[in-house]
Chain A
């Protein structure tokens, strides 16, 4: 009986609680932080920016020769480009699979990205964390070697785990621990040390939006592996979002465009003008 009385009282009282004007209540309360970065890559480093289910991301990336080539070589453009094109498809909101092909050492890479944690607006989760494993297959011809590369020799494996935080609408920062293993190395590959198979790195990347759809970007990958000829990778650039495409233009010290070569490859001395121009074009399609 008490329950009935309570119900009846509630039925009468609830409408009376209404204010003259409606109280504003959010329908979506646990929306994760979005657009920490404008694209799945920030210059060359993978970001935590996931694809949604049914989204297909296409990108074409270039790096040219070093600008020290001067005007005669159009600051490196005449020296030919390393080109990587890639497709990545979102099978779920937190899981995507892709492949890419880079012209340097003719590498095909197959990769996945898993968004493990998403930064929350209410602060209950301060960072976004992704896991990005990939397998690369080097398809250059090595017939000139005494011992040709077997299929297994041609493989390299990478695991990157970008950890990012969007500090404000304008400023985002990430660190990207990465480990890369080449099954076989040698002077024939475009890597820093022909005697080291496994490389480790902790890269740092960030972006600062100085206009609604334009951001300054940077990356810094210090050489922490004990290997010869391994130098810091430095990149600075600009992202332009045009309502459909994201254009990323940058200067970087490395030709590399995939994770394995970015971590294990050679770098010029940024402060001695040994950097090169590069750009990425990103386009997102909806397949479903």
Chain B
């Protein structure tokens, strides 16, 4: 009897578990994001594997955020400066993007597809409307998103050292890569 119950349970789980081809909503909490700074004398990047994201194809909603306290540049003192002096993560812990797909996405097409989104990008408490281009690909494990865009620190009122050393570029290249798993509607 116990075996039967177990079988019933697993069949139910398998039956109702969302899969990539039928799901409309995809989520992940361990996406990759990097902020690349290319200053004349120094190039470095801050990276995090804590990008959290949601794509809801039904609602045409794209929503991403990362806790900026998880960004690491490889030099801890620089990380502390970044958190405390530039990004002020105590007050503004997140970088976030909320927007919509401007181009359609064909779920029947297994190829990587170019997509365009528009939405509000917020960092340091300052919101800006941006357009982001990237690729979406429906895979067995979910929806793979790669995207890249640039952010000007000045646009978000982020001060940077420029008196003596140009060690931080105003233009930050943001690259994201995330595999979003299907979730039930």
Contact = CB atoms under 8 A, between A and B. Distances in A.
Nearest to B70: A27
Report the contact-size class of chain B (Cβ under 8 Å from the partner): 35 or more
A12 B9 contact: no
Contact of A18 (B25, B98, B160, B167): B25
A242 B54 CA distance: 39
A15 interface: yes
Nearest to B84: A35
Nearest to A214: B163
Contact of A15 (B12, B75, B183): B183
B184 A242 contact: no
Interface in A1-49: 1, 4, 7-8, 11-12, 15-16, 18, 20-22, 24-28, 31, 34-35
B65 to A, nearest CB: 6
Contacts of B168: 243
Report the contact-size class of chain A (Cβ under 8 Å from the partner): 35 or more
A249 to B, nearest CB: 14
A18 B183 contact: yes
A34 B80 contact: yes
A239 interface: no
B61 A20 contact: yes
A121 interface: yes
- What are the 10 tightest A-B residue pairs by CB atom distance, in nearest-first order? A243-B161, A52-B76, A28-B69, A27-B67, A15-B184, A243-B167, A35-B84, A242-B164, A34-B80, A27-B50
Contacts of B75: 284, 286
A24 B161 contact: no
Interface of B: 5, 9, 12-13, 16-18, 25, 27, 50, 52-54, 56, 59, 61, 63, 65-67, 69-70, 74-77, 80-81, 83-85, 88, 90, 93-94, 96, 98, 159-161, 163-165, 167-168, 183-185
A22 B54 contact: yes
Contacts of B52: 22, 25
25 contacts: A4-B9, A8-B13, A11-B13, A15-B25, A15-B185, A18-B25, A18-B54, A20-B61, A21-B98, A22-B27, A24-B94, A24-B96, A27-B70, A35-B85, A52-B76, A53-B76, A55-B77, A213-B161, A240-B163, A241-B161, A243-B81, A243-B160, A244-B165, A245-B165, A284-B77
Contact of B65 (A24, A169, A243, A286): A24
A11 B168 CA distance: 46
A212 interface: yes
Contacts of A27: 50, 66-67, 69-70
A169 B80 contact: no
Contacts of B83: 31, 34
A243 B162 CA distance: 9
A28 B161 CA distance: 26
Contacts of A26: 67, 69, 93
Interface in A206-232: 212-213
A4 B5 contact: yes
B163 A8 contact: no
A1 B8 CA distance: 11
Given A212-B85, A242-B161, A244-B167, A52 B77 contact: yes
Interface string A74-109: 000000000000000000000000000000000000
B84 A169 contact: yes
Contacts of A35: 80-81, 84-85
B173 to A, nearest CB: 19
